[in-house]
Structure 1
Amino acid sequence: MQIKITTSVEGDSGLDRMINNLKLLDNTAVEAGLFGGFEAKKAMWQEYGTSRGIPSRPFLRNTLYENEARFANYVAPFIINVMNGGSAEMVYSTLGPFMVMSIQRTIAAGGFAPLAPVTIARKGHSKPLIETGSMYGSIEWRVSR
C-alpha cells in the first residue's frame, strides 16, 4: 500500500525544507501481521487455506483491502506534521498499533468460511480464527527500513 497526499503551495513556504523532512520517511514501511514462529505458520494456513481441508480465511488481505483508504486518512495528519518538522517515529508508532487493531477487528467481525462440525465440537464454539487466542494475540507491527 502506498499513501499519497495531494496539496498545493503558494509563495515561499519552505517547500525545500518540507521535502527534506519528508525524506525521513523514504525507504521505510510500517508492517503489521505475524512475523515468525508457529503462530505465523497458523496465520498462513488460515489466510490461504491448506490441501488438508482448512479453507482460506483471508483476515490479513481483507484488512488491507477494506482499510487502505482508512489507513491513509488516519496517517495523513502525522505525515503533514513530519513535513513541518515533526517526528517520523510518531508516524510509525501511531500507524502500527492502528493496523494491528484493524487486523484484530477483522478477525472478531468474522464472516469467514464456517468451521467444520467436528472443529466446533472440539472448540465449543463456531468462531473461526479464534481458539486459544494465541494467534490473535501474536499480531504485531514493525518498521522495515
Structure 2
Amino acid sequence: MARITVRFRDNNQIPELRRVLNELDRYSLEVGVFAENDTSNPSYVMIANVHEFGVTIQRERGSIVIPERSFIRTTFDEKNAEWVRFIRSQLRLVVTFRIDARTLWERLGAKIVADIQEKITDLDAPPNAPSTIAKKGSSNPLIDTGGLRSRITYRVVRV
C-alpha cells in the first residue's frame, strides 16, 4: 500500500494585508514647486504663485496685471476622478502584494506631475499681452524657458 503524506500550509495573509493597508496611511503626497529646490532668480515658487493666482503690480505710471492662469488647481479639478480610478487600480496591486504602499504614492505623484506639466504646455488662456509675445517670441502664457514646467515635482512624505 502506498503511503500518502498530506501537508497543510497556513495561507492566512490577513496580518500581512493589515500591515500593508496600515502602511498606506503612513504616507502623504505633496505636489508643486518647492522652495528648498528653488535657487533661481527670479524664484520659480514666486512665478508659480503669480500665475496660479494672478497679481496686480502697482507702478508709478499705472499698473501691470498678470491674470490668473491656474495650472495646479484646475488640473486637480479636471483630473481628480481619473486619479481616483488610478489609485483604485494601484490598490489592487497593493492588496495582492505586487507593489508596496510607497510605490503607489510614487506612481501617483509621477502621474499628477505629468498631468500638471501637460496643463502648463496646453494652457492658452488668458493669452499673453502682445508686448509679452513680442518680448519672449511665444504666445504660450506659461512657457518661456520651460523652467516652471520642469520644476513641477512631487515628494512622498512619511507621516
The farther-off stretch of 44-53 and 76-85 is 76-85
Q: What is residue 50 of structure 2 aligned with on the other side?
A: 45
**Equivalent in 115, 120, 123 of residue 107 of structure 1:** 120
* Higher share of residues assigned strand: 2
SS in 1 for 2:110: helix
Matched, 1:69 2:81: yes
Q: Distance in 2 between matches of 1:80 and 1:15?
A: 15
Q: CA deviation at 1:18?
A: 3.0
Matched, 1:96 2:101: no
Aligned-pair RMSD on alpha carbons? 1.7
Please tell me whether the aligned partners of residues 33 and 152 of structure 2 are also in contact (alpha carbons under 8 angstroms): yes
Matched, 1:122 2:135: yes
Deviation string for 1:62-117 (max 9, x for gaps)? 11000001111112122222223341121022111111100011111214211111
**Structure 1 residues 9-20: aligned runs within 5 Å:** 17-20=16-19
* Identical pairs, percent: 32
Please tell me whether the aligned partners of residues 97 and 141 of structure 1 are also in contact (alpha carbons under 8 angstroms): yes
Gaps of 5+ in 1: 1-12
Q: TM-score, normalised by structure 2?
A: 0.76
Larger Rg: 2
The count of corresponding residues between Structure 1 and Structure 2 is: 133
Q: What is residue 72 of structure 2 aligned with on the other side?
A: 60
Find runs of 4+ consecutive structure 1 residues off by over 4 angstroms.
13-17
Q: Distance in 1 between matches of 2:117 and 2:85?
A: 19
SS in 1 for 2:72: helix
When residues 111 and 121 of structure 1 are mapped into structure 2, their CA distance, relative to the original with a 3 A threshold, is closer
* Higher share of residues assigned helix: 1
The farther-off stretch of 46-55 and 15-24 is 15-24
SS in 2 for 1:66: helix
Gaps of 5+ in 2: 1-11, 58-64
Q: Distance in 1 between matches of 2:113 and 2:137?
A: 27
Q: TM-score, normalised by structure 1?
A: 0.83
Q: CA deviation at 1:30?
A: 1.6
